[in-house]
Amino acid sequence: MIATLTVSERQAGLLLSIILAALGLAMAAAARQGVMSVHGFLALGLGVGLAFMLGGAIYDPEPDEDRLRSYYDAPTQFGIVMTLIWAVIAMAVGVWVAALLYWPEATPLWPETSFGRLRPVHTTGIIFGFGGNALIATSFHVLQRTSRARLADSISPWVVLLGYNLFCVWAVTGYLMGSTQSKEYAEAEWYADLWLVVVWVTYFVLYLRTLARRNEPHIYVANWYYLAFILVVAMLHIVNNLALPVRWSSAESFPIWSGVQDAMIQWWYGHNAVAFFLTAGFLGMLYYFLPIRSGRPIWSYRLSIISFWGITFFYIWVGSHHLHYTALPYWAQTLGMTFSVMLLVPSWASAGNAIATLNGAWHKVRDDATLRFMFVAAVFYGLSTFEGSFLAIRPVNSLSHYTDWTVGHVHSGTLGWVAMIVFGAIYTLVPQISGRDAMVSSRAIEWHFWLAVSGTLVYVVAMWNAGITQGLMWRAYDENGALSYSFLQSVQAMAPYYLLRTIGGGLFLAGAVICAWNCWATLRLAHGSAKDRPLLPQPAE
């Protein structure tokens, strides 16, 4: 990575590394002990490490002037490597905690490895580590190609990626040490949240600056989605995480929101993390890589406009469907339900647009496992958005809420849709940035594909059965008007499903490991860089 920077860029990087190290040192010194000091030392270590790397290579040969005539893919490659590392770690943790539900005696008696602390490691590791790195890495690629311009500078992509991964490491190591805000999918403590805001602003500014240099008059659809992802996630993150630290030298804090307002804001955040992190960003990925891989233009431009604005406008309303029959005012629940149902229109418009794009390329779907990943992703996107609208209907929700059906729904979205589109994008990207025609092993892609599909189906079907069984057992009355089952009986009934879901997760994890190996082998045999070039401004005649 350092070879791609000029001497002045290396100097700027060195300065930033020293600032990071100083910040880490200040944090560690202020906290003296506990999670925050460990995190301070982590930042110090990263800063010092980077400073040594840059300092040691500062007067190495500079890249030639020609570099400005190519795309800047080094950050994308780093982001993909991080994506795969997080995928393997966080999916393995997921399989492990799933196994603990079937076999609770296996829990080692250390606080750090108990279910309640590992569970957010899985969710944060997957959503932010795996999903977030994939989004950032692909967004740099897509932004440059669709703008036909090189990234606006060479420092900020590294600030974004390294800073973002520092946030992820802070978050998951914090949970292991018992530091959490308890807000689902926003568990990281206040200083990590502040740090993420800095990283995110850098990301947004880089995105806009690169867009400003574009050599295409129009901003391509994929970028609308990536922009919505960046902007709305910033809004959600800031509002939901507003908190007062107990002390400036302690990780502990109290959210400023309480009770019913906190619940509404939490699920406004929670569901829109699904919408703008796990959907909008990945739709951006789909809108670029699906046409590229299939060699067909997006089927309908109008449909993409309708679905983009539909998703951006409708999604924000639906969070309250997480709070049906609770103490949240009834009108807010009703609004959440209504918009959830309406949301099916733009969601299916996107899914349909993607599938119709494949018209005329079905033979490629048959032959090319990479394209098949994207096709399955679009199908699962359609299925899980339908399921989502269905589960948001109040009477359905009375059965499904609090059960494993919700878990099944989430995984049909994350395994079936999000992970599949990421793998499709990775298998398209990795050969390209390695200057190769294809991945090292196409058989490994086939294996990965079938492991991923079967793992997803086993997992989701097991959780559907589990959830519906739970829901029905909880509400069953006997002929005397008493509840038929104790809660414990419903727990016991889950055992076979929990075993099946562990197996499903294991299959999916095995596929991800194969993918990581395949990418490693391909990147190792890279022949230079991507062959496509940005359009250089032509001097006026």
Partner 1 sequence: MLKLHYNLERVSMGLVAAIIIAASVGGIVEIAPLFTIDETVEVPDDLRPHTPLELAGREIFIREGCYACHSQMVRSLADEIDRYGPYSQAGESAYDHPMLWGSKRTGPDLARIGGKYSDEWHVRHLIDPRSVVPASIMPAYPWLLKSLDTDLLTDSLATLSELGVPYSDEMITSAASDALAQSRPDSNETDGFRARYEERPAIRAFDGDPARLTEMDALVAYLQALGTLTVVSETVVVEVDE
Near partner 1 by CB under 8 A: residue from 7, 235, 525, 535: 235
Residue 163 sits at the vertex; the CA angle it makes with 278 and 265, to the nearest 5 degrees, is: 45
Rounded Cα distance between 439 and 522, Å, is 6
Using an 8 Å Cβ cutoff, are 80 and 429 in contact? yes
Of the two residues 4 and 114, which places its CB atom closer to partner 1 in the complex? 114
User: Where on the phi/psi map is residue 397: left (φ > 0), alpha (ψ -120 to 50), or beta?
Assistant: alpha
Near partner 1 by CB under 8 A: residue from 217, 297, 537, 539: 217
Using an 8 Å Cβ cutoff, are 462 and 536 in contact? no
H or E, element range at 254: strand 253-255
Using CB under 8 A, which of the segments 179-187, 426-434, 437-445, 507-515 binds partner 1?
179-187
245 touching partner 1, by CB under 8 A:
yes
Using an 8 Å Cβ cutoff, are 336 and 319 in contact? yes
* Token reading at 378: 């679009």
Residues numbered 489 to 518 that lie near partner 1 (CB under 8 A) are 491-492
3 state DSSP class of 245: strand
Binding-site size for partner 1 (CB under 8 A) equals: 97
**Smallest gap, in angstroms, from Cβ of residue 319 to partner 1?**
8
139 touching partner 1, by CB under 8 A:
no
Using CB under 8 A, which of the segments 13-21, 69-77, 101-109, 515-523 binds partner 1?
101-109
Residues numbered 391 to 430 that lie near partner 1 (CB under 8 A) are 398, 401-403, 406-407
Of the two residues 175 and 423, which places its CB atom closer to partner 1 in the complex? 175
Rounded Cα distance between 10 and 57, Å, is 8
203 touching partner 1, by CB under 8 A:
no
Residues numbered 65 to 94 that lie near partner 1 (CB under 8 A) are none
Could you tell me where the DSSP H helices lie in 177-300? 190-212, 221-240, 259-272, 281-294
User: Where on the phi/psi map is residue 527: left (φ > 0), alpha (ψ -120 to 50), or beta?
Assistant: beta
Q: Which residues contact 295 (CB under 8 A, 6 or more apart)?
A: 361, 364
Using CB under 8 A, which of the segments 57-65, 309-317, 378-386, 529-537 binds partner 1?
309-317
111 touching partner 1, by CB under 8 A:
yes
109 touching partner 1, by CB under 8 A:
yes
215 touching partner 1, by CB under 8 A:
no
Near partner 1 by CB under 8 A: residue from 52, 115, 362, 450: 115
**Smallest gap, in angstroms, from Cβ of residue 224 to partner 1?**
6
336 touching partner 1, by CB under 8 A:
yes
Determine the straight-line distance between the first and last CA of the chain, rounded to whole angstroms: 38
